[in-house]
Structure 1
Amino acid sequence: MRILLQFAASLLWPPGSLIILLILCSLLALRLRRRSVPAVLLGIAALLIYLLSIEPTAHGMLRNLESRSPGIDLTTSETASAISMREPGTGGAPAPVIVVLGADMQPGSPDGVALGSTSLTRSAGGLLLHRQTGARIIAAGGPAGIPWGSGSTAIGTNSQNRENHSTDTPAEAIAAWLAAAGIARDRITTEGSSRTTAEAARNIMQLLAADSPPVMLVTSAYHMPRALYSFREYQAPIVPVPVDYRANRTPIGLQSFLPDLAHLHNSTTALREFAILAAYAVGFWL
Structure 2
Amino acid sequence: MFSSLINLVVPLNLCIFLMVLGFVLCLIRFKRSGLSLIFAGILWVLIWSLPVTSILFGGILENSYPHRPTAQYPTAQAIVVLGGATANNRINWFEPLAPDSKIARVDTAAELYFQHKAPRILVSGGALSGDVSEARGMAARLKTLGVPAEDIILENESRTTHENAALTVQQLRDHQIRSILLVTSALHMPRSMASFSKYGLDVTAAPNPAQITIPDDKDFSLFIPNERALAGSRSILKEYVGVLVYWLRGWV
For normalisation by structure 2, the TM-score amounts to: 0.74
The letter of the residue matching 1:144 is: L
Listed as ranges, the matches of 1:1-286 within 5 Å are: 35-74=31-70, 79=71, 82-85=72-75, 96-104=77-85, 117=89, 121-133=104-116, 135-144=119-128, 168-210=132-174, 211-249=176-214, 255-285=221-251
Q: Distance in 2 between matches of 1:132 and 1:266?
A: 33
What is the aligned-residue identity percentage?
A: 28
The letter of the residue matching 2:189 is: M
Q: Distance in 2 between matches of 1:47 and 1:233?
A: 38
The letter of the residue matching 1:268 is: R
Structure 2: runs of 5 or more not aligned: 1-10, 91-101
Q: Considering only CA atoms, is the larger Rg found in Structure 1 or Structure 2? A: 1
Offset at residue 285 of structure 1 (A): 4.0
Deviations 1:135-182 (A, max 9, x none): 21111100216xxxxx8xxxxxxxxxxxxxxx7111000000110111
> In 2 relative to 1, CA 250–261 (structure 1 residues): closer, same or farther, beyond 3 Å?
closer
Matched position secondary structure for 1:268: helix
> In 2 relative to 1, CA 250–180 (structure 1 residues): closer, same or farther, beyond 3 Å?
closer
Q: Distance in 2 between matches of 1:34 and 1:102?
A: 47
Greater shift in the superposed pair: 127-136 or 195-204: 127-136
Q: Distance in 2 between matches of 1:58 and 1:172?
A: 32
Contact 2:68 2:206 in 1 (8 A): yes
Q: Distance in 2 between matches of 1:187 and 1:120?
A: 22
Offset at residue 202 of structure 1 (A): 1.0
The letter of the residue matching 2:201 is: A
Contact 2:78 2:177 in 1 (8 A): no
Contact 1:59 1:266 in 2 (8 A): no
Q: What is the total number of aligned residue pairs between the two structures?
A: 217
Offset at residue 249 of structure 1 (A): 5.0
The letter of the residue matching 1:283 is: R
Contact 1:59 1:267 in 2 (8 A): no
Q: Distance in 1 between matches of 2:214 and 2:85?
A: 25
2:97 aligns to what? none
For normalisation by structure 1, the TM-score amounts to: 0.66
Q: Distance in 1 between matches of 2:73 and 2:51?
A: 32
Deviations 1:13-63 (A, max 9, x none): xx99xx9xx99xx9xxx9xx9844433322221111010011111111111
Offset at residue 253 of structure 1 (A): 7.8
Please report the RMSD computed on the Cα atoms of aligned residues, expressed in angstroms.
3.3
> In 2 relative to 1, CA 232–213 (structure 1 residues): closer, same or farther, beyond 3 Å?
closer
Offset at residue 206 of structure 1 (A): 0.8
Contact 1:194 1:203 in 2 (8 A): yes
Q: Distance in 1 between matches of 2:223 and 2:128?
A: 35
Matched position secondary structure for 1:256: coil
Q: Distance in 2 between matches of 1:236 and 1:101?
A: 16
Structure 1: runs of 5 or more not aligned: 1-14, 86-94, 106-115, 146-150, 152-166
